[in-house]
């Protein structure tokens, strides 16, 4: 009988809290339990509603952040005229190397060497060259042209519009 044990608990608290010699009539005790149960139900609903409000606020914040990410992710690198045909340029700050294997054809890769993580230093002779241990990567697809690196440079995405290169 779980209800009986709850009733006894409520009855025991009331006289102590009020300080008055209460009349522990069975009817009063039951009302107390019912009111308490009702309040507990309301409290439960309020908590549920509060949680709903919080989650909706979070969704709003998340939407704002998501909306600002694409704008923050795009980074202007400079003029496409800075990239020589058959060569490329290393953007050290962005850790990106942009190449132009053929007129108007641009490729971009991570500038972090896949051998030990140095930043590649130059682009010449059709390859992206790492100064640390001599690895070379092809400007056409980032694949290894000369070891010790064994993995290609990861590709990056750039757009060229109006003569400006943007890292996306």
* Smallest distance, ligand FES to C-beta of residue 155, A: 18
Q: Which is nearer to ligand FES, 83 or 113 (CB)?
A: 113
Buried b (16+ CB within 10 A) or exposed e, 84-94: eeebbbbbeeb
Q: Give the alpha-carbon dihedral of 86, 91, 92, 95, to 10 degrees.
A: -90
* Residue 95 lies near ligand FES (rule: CB under 6 A): no
Q: Which is nearer to ligand FES, 110 or 135 (CB)?
A: 135
Q: Which is nearer to ligand FES, 28 or 146 (CB)?
A: 146
Q: How far is CA 71 from the centre of its chain?
A: 15
Q: Which is nearer to ligand FES, 145 or 165 (CB)?
A: 145
* Residue 14 lies near ligand FES (rule: CB under 6 A): no
* Residue 10 lies near ligand FES (rule: CB under 6 A): no
Q: Among 30, 57, 133, 155, which residue sits at the site for ligand FES (rule: CB under 6 A)? A: 133
Q: Among 115, 122, 126, 167, which residue sits at the site for ligand FES (rule: CB under 6 A)? A: 115
Whole-angstrom distance, CA of residue 148 vs CA of residue 84: 27
Question: What angle do the packed helices 26-73 and 2-18 form, to 10 degrees?
Answer: 90
Phi, psi dihedrals of residue 129, rounded to the nearest 5°: -115, 130
Residues that bind ligand FES (CB under 6 A): 113, 115-118, 130, 132-135, 148-149
């Amino acid at each position: 009988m779980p209800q009986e044990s709850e009733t006894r608990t409520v009855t025991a608290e009331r006289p102590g809290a009020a300080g008055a010699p209460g009349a522990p009539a069975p009817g009063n005790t039951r009302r107390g339990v019912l009111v308490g149960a009702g309040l507990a139900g309301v409290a439960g609903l309020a908590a549920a509603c509060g949680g709903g409000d919080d989650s909706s606020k979070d969704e709003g914040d998340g939407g704002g952040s998501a909306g600002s990410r694409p704008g923050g992710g795009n980074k202007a690198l400079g003029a496409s005229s800075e990239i020589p045909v058959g060569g490329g340029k290393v953007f050290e700050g962005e850790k990106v190397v942009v190449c132009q294997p053929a007129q108007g054809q641009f490729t971009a890769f991570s500038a972090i060497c896949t051998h030990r993580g140095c930043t590649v230093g130059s682009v010449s002779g059709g390859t992206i060259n790492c100064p640390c241990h001599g690895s070379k990567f092809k400007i056409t697809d980032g694949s290894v042209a000369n070891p010790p690196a064994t993995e290609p440079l990861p590709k990056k995405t750039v757009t060229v519009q109006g003569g400006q290169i943007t890292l996306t």
